[in-house]
Every structure is written in C-alpha cells, then in structure tokens.
Amino acid sequence: MNPKKLTTTLTHFALVTLSCLFLFPFLWLLDTAVKPISETMRQPPVWIPSKFEFGNFWEAVNYGSDKVGYIPFLVYAQNTLMLAILVVTGTVVSNAIVAYSFARVRWWGRDIVFAVTLATMMVPFPVMMVPTFTIFKHLNWIGTYRPLWVPAWFGSAFSIFLLRQFFKTIPFELSEAAKIDGAGEWTIFRSIILPLSKPALSVVALFSFMGTWNDFLGPLIYLLRQETFTLSLGLEFYHSKAGGTEWNLLMAATSIVILPVLVVFFFCQKQFIKGISITGIK
Amino acid sequence: MMRRKEARAGFLFALPWLFGLLAFMFYPLLMSLYYSFCDYSALRSPVWIGTDNYAELFHDEVFWTCVKNTLFYACFSLPLGMAMAIGLAMLLNTNVKGMTVYRTIFFIPSLVPMVSLAMLWLWILNGDYGVLNNALATFGIKGPNWLSDIAWTKPALILMSVWGVGNSMLIYLASLQDVPTSLLEASELDGASAWQKTRNVTLPMISPVIQFNMVMGIIGSLQVFAIPFVMFPAGIPARSTYFYAMYLYDNAFVYSRMGYASAMGWILFIVILLLTLIALKLSNKHVHYGGV
C-alpha cells in the first residue's frame, strides 16, 4: 500500500469510528423509545427489542390522560410553536430593518453604535437576569409569553451582525440607480434589498426558530402555570426524580421534541452551514 | 440636504434596536450594578447596603464551590472541545467521499435541545441500567457511577460537552476550506511532512478563527446552565455539579436574594471580560492575519 492510500484508509477509519461514537446515543434513544417497558431495564441490555412498540410514541403524547399525572404534550407543543412563530417573525422583521440601516445608510454615530452592538454579544445573560425580570414584573408580564417574544421585535446583536455582513455584499450601484429614480430608503429596502437577501433572512429565521425551540432558561424564569409551559419545560415531567421513570416513554417524548429541529436542519442544511460559517469570519 | 435626509432615515431604521439596546441591555446592566449594592427581594424594594453582598460572597462556601466547579468544567471542556472540533474539521477537510454525511453526523448533537440532551444522557449514564457502563463492561472495564460518584459527575458533563462541538467544527471547517491550496502545495514541494504542513501553514492560517472560538468558548463555558440544572438539581451529589449560573439562578428565583444574585452576575461579567482580554493578549502573538 502506498502512503497516500494508507492515509485515506486511516482517515476513513477515524471518520467511521467517530461517527459511530457520535451517532450511538441517538440510536440508543430510538431503540429505547420503541421498547416495551420490561425490556428497558434488563441486564445485560436488550439491543434489539423483541417487539417494536411504536405505540410508545402515541402513549407518550397522551401520557396519563386518564390519570393524575397527566402531561399535556400537545398543549406544550402548541405553546412552543406559537412562541416560535412570534419570535421568528419579530426577529426577521426587526433585524432586517436595523441591519439595513447599519449596512447601507450613512448616519452620524453609526459605526460607534455598531461596535457597541458587537460588544454586547459578550455580556453574559446572568448579569442581566434580575433587572430584566424586574422590568417585566413592573409591566405585569410575568406568567405570560410576552417577556419571551416582545424583546425579539427590538433586534438582537447576532442577527444584526449576520444580516449586515450580507447586505454589504449587495452592489451599491443598485441603490444609487434607484435613488436617481427618486426612490426613498424604504422603497430600496423593500424592493431591492429584501428580495435579494432571502438566503440570509432564512438563516436568521432558522437560528431564531432553533433558539426558541431549544430555549430553557427563558420559559423557566417567566412561565408559571403548567398549562402555559413549553416542550423544554414539559419534558422534565416525564422524568421522575424519585425513580420509576418510564424510560421508554421519556425517550419517545424526547425523540418527538428533537424531530422538528432535525427536519428543519435537513431541509435547510445549506443555508445553515453558510450561516454558521459567516459567524466565524470577521 | 440629501445627507440629512439619509441620516434621518438611517436613524429611524435603527430605532427599534436603539430602543432594544437601551431597554434590554444598558438599563439592565446598570440596574444590576445598582442592585448588587442592595438588599433586594421580590417582595421588597431594593435597600442600599453598600458592599455587603460582595463581602458575604467572599465568605460564602457555596459560592466558592460553584466557582471551583465552573473553573474545573471550563478548564477541561474548553481545550478538549477545541481539540475535538479542530480534529474533526481537519478530517472532514481531506476530500474524503461522503464528507457531507459525516459533517451532518458530527453536527447533529449540537442541534438538539439541551433538555432533550440532558434526558438522553441521564438514561445513557444511568448507574443501574446505563448502556455506557454496559458497553464498557464488554471490554472488561468497570464504568464509574457517572451520576452519583462525585469524582465522575463533572467528567460526565465534560464528556457530553465534547460531543456537542458541531457549531465550532463548522466554523473551523469553513476557514480550513479558505486556506489557499497554493501555500500547501508550495510547502509540499519544499518537502514538508503532513505534520509540518499542519503546524506551519494550516494552523497559522486559521489562527484568527481559533482565537474567535476560544473567546466564545470561555464566555459560554463559564455560563453552563441548562444541562446540569436538569440532570443534577441543586448540583447533586454533594454540590459536585453546582455551577456558577445555577447558584446565581437559585439566589435570584428560589431564595429571592436578587441583590446577591446581581453581585454574582457582575463578578461573572468582570471575570469574563478579564479572561477574554488575557486570552486575546496571550494569543495575539500567535494569531496571523494572512490573506484569508
């Protein structure tokens, strides 16, 4: 074997081994999710269930609807989805407008404000947790969804940065030409920049969808009543701290929570990877 | 006149963010500084007490436990995670067949909601029925009690964090693909070995991205919250997994000591600023801004 071929073989070997290590937890998740409860806790572990219990997914979604420990999974899913729609819409609309201003309009102090904007990405959230909570308490918003979605309509540093980088790549001649024809900034933004920026806008939408779907701390702080919880909070109810967790149902519920994120990723892989790559390049 | 009109439009467009910046960034930042010098609970308005909170923190045993835990976690998960991310990106950058499939596989863990991850790992690391220890047993290794042995709870979390490096891996991969092949070919002609090429060409070329990821990694790992919060409520066993952000959260919303929590927040903020500056300073002489 020549050295070049050896390197290729070794690379493949390393990639396959690592892939197995990375995938294994997910395979085990799915494996557990379709097992009968009696086989989840057997020693040594049962690798292939004697019977594939696809009913587990159904049972997890309607968990205990006849008992005291009812977990309204579908209500949580609905809450999460509604919240995600509000956040994604707000994020895309507000950040597009703001990023346009930073990328393509000249105004006094713009670059200083932008530098400050970038710097705020370093501020850890815990330092602002208490005062932010206090603001929403004074507004009487605790226990509602508003603390979770209203701020999204006022822009976020990360999305502004991402969109600004993209808007800057659109040729400025297009704007100049439109200006000579008498178009104002709003018209240029609506009819030239936005239509050309669909890829970047979808990246921002994707990130904010993922962020909302995955958010744990926000709902933990602001939501009080169980029926308003999101999936992140609701999932915990399947895990009993006193023992006796029905692991197959917990894993089934977990798979369902993961699923939408994976589906979104597979359909938008290209934009996704592009978006993440942009964040690393200054 | 034109310029004036343009400036007004620009300002109007930026207005939502200017408001957001003031209301959800500067105001909370200043207020938390003020609260950190106050006795403030959810039921009472803040009362100025000077530096009492900071003094109390200094003598708070739990606080120091959390500091130690968090530093321990950061010191291991950050370098291990960076090594893993760079290693994976380099493997993916070798033009092997099926690159996109491998890339997806390595990326998936960082997509998954934190709480789902926590649940999944509770099951995998379970002391009695955990599949990881069973798998280790087939190799004749007796796995530790990941969830209840205080020597192994932090390593368990570090292991999990290394598994979730997909995001930074993608950033490295993108920058690796920007390294000019001409440079690599030139060094090959000069007889450089694979290691020499990596050491002297590739790593210097991607050094700005390594620095970026390092800074983001410091900021992120010092704030670790959701996964330990779900897996190890209140840092069980024996506070071995009680991290800084968890104690801060508990002070604010469980013990209702909001001033105390704000003082913790400001200490965290200053530590992050200092560490970032030190990291930038130390790494700057190794960072090479080339043609990329």
Mean pLDDT (chain A) is: 90
Rounded to a whole number, what is the distance in Å from the CA of B254 to chain A's nearest CA? 11
Helices B166-176 and B61-92: angle between axes, nearest 10 degrees? 40
Res. A282: pLDDT tops 60: no
Res. A264: pLDDT tops 80: yes
Domain A73-247 fold is MetI-like fold (1.10.3720)
Q: Rounded distance, CA B70 to CA B241, Å?
A: 8
Q: Give the CA distances from residue B45 to residues A134, B110, B258, in Å, rounded to whole numbers and listed in that order.
A: 11, 41, 10
Res. A18: pLDDT tops 50: yes
Contacts of A7 in chain B (CB under 8 A): 94, 194
Cβ distance of B226 and A217 shorter than 8 Å: yes
Cβ distance of B17 and A160 shorter than 8 Å: yes
- Give, as one character, the DSSP assignment of residue A203: H
SS3 B208: helix
Rounded to a whole number, what is the distance in Å from the CA of B39 to chain A's nearest CA? 13
Closest by alpha carbon to B129, among A253, A32, A50, A252?
Answer: A32
Q: Rounded distance, CA B124 to CA B108, Å?
A: 17
- Give, as one character, the DSSP assignment of residue A1: -
Cβ distance of B17 and A210 shorter than 8 Å: no
CB distance A104 to A172 below 8 Å: yes
CB distance B182 to B112 below 8 Å: no
Which ranges of chain B have pLDDT less than 70? 1-2, 290-292
Domains and CATH numbers, chain B: 47-284 (1.10.3720.10)
Cβ distance of A19 and B105 shorter than 8 Å: yes
- Tell me, yes or no, if B198 comes closer than 8 A to chain A by beta carbon: no
Contacts of B28 in chain A (CB under 8 A): 127-128, 131-132, 135
CB distance B110 to B197 below 8 Å: no
Q: Given phi > 0 = left and psi -120 to 50 = alpha, else beta, which region is B235?
A: left
Q: Which of residues 120-149 of B touch A (CB under 8 A)?
A: 120-124, 128-129, 131, 134, 137
- Give B63-83 pLDDT, tens digit per residue: 999 999 999 999 999 999 999
Contacts of B125 in chain A (CB under 8 A): none
Cβ distance of A113 and B175 shorter than 8 Å: no
Q: Which of residues 12-41 of B touch A (CB under 8 A)?
A: 12-14, 16-21, 23-25, 27-29, 31-32, 35, 40
C-beta atoms surrounding B98 within 10 Å: 12
Q: Rounded distance, CA A110 to CA A118, Å?
A: 12
The per-residue DSSP string of A71-119 comes to --HHHHHHHHHHHHHHHHHHHHHHHHHHHHHHHH---TTHHHHHHHHHH
ipTM: 0.89
Cβ distance of B27 and A279 shorter than 8 Å: no
The one-letter amino acid code at B277 reads L
The one-letter amino acid code at B54 reads Y
Q: Give the residue ranges of DSSP H helices in chain B.
A: 2-21, 27-35, 52-59, 61-92, 99-107, 114-124, 131-138, 153-163, 166-176, 181-189, 194-197, 203-205, 207-221, 226-231, 244-249, 258-284
Q: What angle do CA A54, A57, A60 make, to 5 degrees?
A: 140
3-state helix, strand, coil in chain A (%, to 5): 75, 0, 25
Instruction: Give the up-direction half-sphere exposure of residue B249: CA atoms within 13 A in the CB hemisphere.
Output: 21
Q: How many CB pairs under 8 A join A and B?
A: 269
Q: What is the pLDDT of residue B116?
A: 92
Confidence category of residue A215, pLDDT binned at 50, 70, 90: very high
First CA to last CA distance, chain A? 43
Identify the bridge partners of residue B48 per DSSP, sorted by sequence position. B38
Q: Rounded distance, CA A146 to CA A149, Å?
A: 5
C-beta atoms surrounding B270 within 10 Å: 11
Q: What is the pLDDT of residue B292?
A: 41
Contacts of B249 in chain A (CB under 8 A): 126, 129, 217
Q: What is the pLDDT of residue A257?
A: 93
By CA distance, what is A214's nearest residue in B?
A: B113
- Give A28-71 pLDDT, tens digit per residue: 999 999 999 888 887 778 888 888 889 899 988 888 665 666 78
Cβ distance of B29 and A123 shorter than 8 Å: yes
Cβ distance of B25 and A120 shorter than 8 Å: yes
- Give, as one character, the DSSP assignment of residue A67: S
Res. A259: pLDDT tops 70: yes
Question: What are the boundaries of each domain within chain A?
Answer: 73-247
Cβ distance of B9 and A236 shorter than 8 Å: no
- Tell me, yes or no, if B113 comes closer than 8 A to chain A by beta carbon: yes
Confidence category of residue A272, pLDDT binned at 50, 70, 90: confident
Cβ distance of A124 and B23 shorter than 8 Å: no
Q: Give the CA distances from residue B174 to residues A281, B99, B169, in Å, rounded to whole numbers and listed in that order.
A: 9, 13, 9
Cβ distance of A261 and B230 shorter than 8 Å: no
Q: What is the pLDDT of residue B251?
A: 96
Contacts of B12 in chain A (CB under 8 A): 101
Q: What is the arithmetic mean of pLDDT over A207-216?
A: 93
Q: Which of residues 233-252 of B touch A (CB under 8 A)?
A: 233, 244-245, 248-249, 252
Cβ distance of A131 and B262 shorter than 8 Å: yes
Which pTM was predicted? 0.91
The one-letter amino acid code at B204 reads P
CB distance B156 to B146 below 8 Å: yes
Contacts of B36 in chain A (CB under 8 A): none
Show the tokens assigned to A26: 């997910």
- Residues contacting A84, CB < 8 A, separation 6+: A209, A212, A213
